[in-house]
Amino acid sequence: MSATVFLITGASSGFGKAIALEALRRGHKVIATARDASKLDQLKEAGAAVLDLDVAAGDESVAAAFQKAHAIYGRLTHVVNAAGYVLEGAIEESSQAEVAAIFATNVFGASATVRAAAPYLRQAVKQDGAQTAIASFGSMAWWEPTPAVALYCATKAADSMIMQGAALELKPFGIDAVTIEPGYFRTELLNSGTGVQRKITTAQTLDVYKNTPVEAVRNSLVAADNNQLGDVTKAARVIVDVLTRSGVAKGRSIPTRLVLGSDCVDKIRELMAETEKSIKEWEAVSRSTDHDQ
């Protein structure tokens, strides 16, 4: 049986690290990547190959990293893009450079990963009919823009659309594409300070946003840090099941969007109901804008 080979970006912490450990536990080959591969020592000790890969570095750099990764085992079957970060701050507080940086990692990085991965996944399918998949991370955040993190929400909305489009484009080649949409999970994403530095705060903080929803969200992120409902280890088991069509996913098709966490399920259902209510209220007005027949 041909090897199942995972390439995982953003594997130094959070979902990326948990998915890598779960895949290794099952005996799969794992190539773990991060901007600085020296932060991947734990995964290396667990049996992963490690590489430097900055998804925001541009097509040439990303393609070169994928070429090196492919050479390790001679194939890639599953690619998971877990690279990303939160930009905390009101839109007015954010500089154009900060906006460009978060889109470069969270959005352009996701599309660069699809571009780099697709040829290798096609090759694996063609060689031996391998079951292949590519995944990237959306978030509960894209379903409802939130003050103080609206730009992060925007990147997650873009990620979801990119992967839904990729699912349609890659399906004819036997490649599944999925957006993983978690609620609040207990990862390092909201950690701040030196070292992990997963929460990025805008350099400018305006007093005008005191006692507004922006300040309320800032405080809620601090309160939520390390107290999130979701268990990332449990989520990693489900993700690997889904991507390999095993365990809880055996006999099922890979969904275009994989929703994780009861908070995310509840939020989506709430927003679906609100959307249906709004459509009904405004339906006559909406339909009035058609050409007369």
CATH number at residue 19: 3.40.50.720
| Domain span holding position 195 | 5-262
Query: What pLDDT sits at residue 230?
Result: 77
> Considering the domain boundaries, does residue 41 fall inside one?
yes
Phi and psi at residue 69, in whole multiples of 5°? -65, -45
pLDDT under 70: residue ranges of the chain: 1, 186-199, 222-229
Nearest to 74 by CA among 31, 33, 110, 115: 31
Query: What pLDDT sits at residue 134?
Result: 98
> Considering the domain boundaries, does residue 148 fall inside one?
yes
> Considering the domain boundaries, does residue 235 fall inside one?
yes
Q: Is 182 exposed, middle or buried (0-12, 13-18, 19+ CB in 10 A)?
A: buried
Query: What pLDDT sits at residue 11?
Result: 95
Cβ atoms of 181 and 264 closer than 8 Å: yes
> Considering the domain boundaries, does residue 292 fall inside one?
no
The size of the chain, in residues, is 293
> Considering the domain boundaries, does residue 291 fall inside one?
no
Instruction: Tell me the two tokens of residue 141.
Output: 């955040």
Which residues sit opposite 136 in a β-bridge? 81, 179
Query: What pLDDT sits at residue 221?
Result: 73
> Considering the domain boundaries, does residue 196 fall inside one?
yes
Phi and psi at residue 240, in whole multiples of 5°? -65, -40
Query: What pLDDT sits at residue 273?
Result: 96
Cβ atoms of 180 and 136 closer than 8 Å: yes
> Considering the domain boundaries, does residue 80 fall inside one?
yes
Give all strands of the β-sheet with 49-52 in edge-to-edge order: 49-52, 29-34, 5-9, 78-81, 132-137, 175-182, 257-260
> Considering the domain boundaries, does residue 274 fall inside one?
no
* Count of domains for the chain: 1
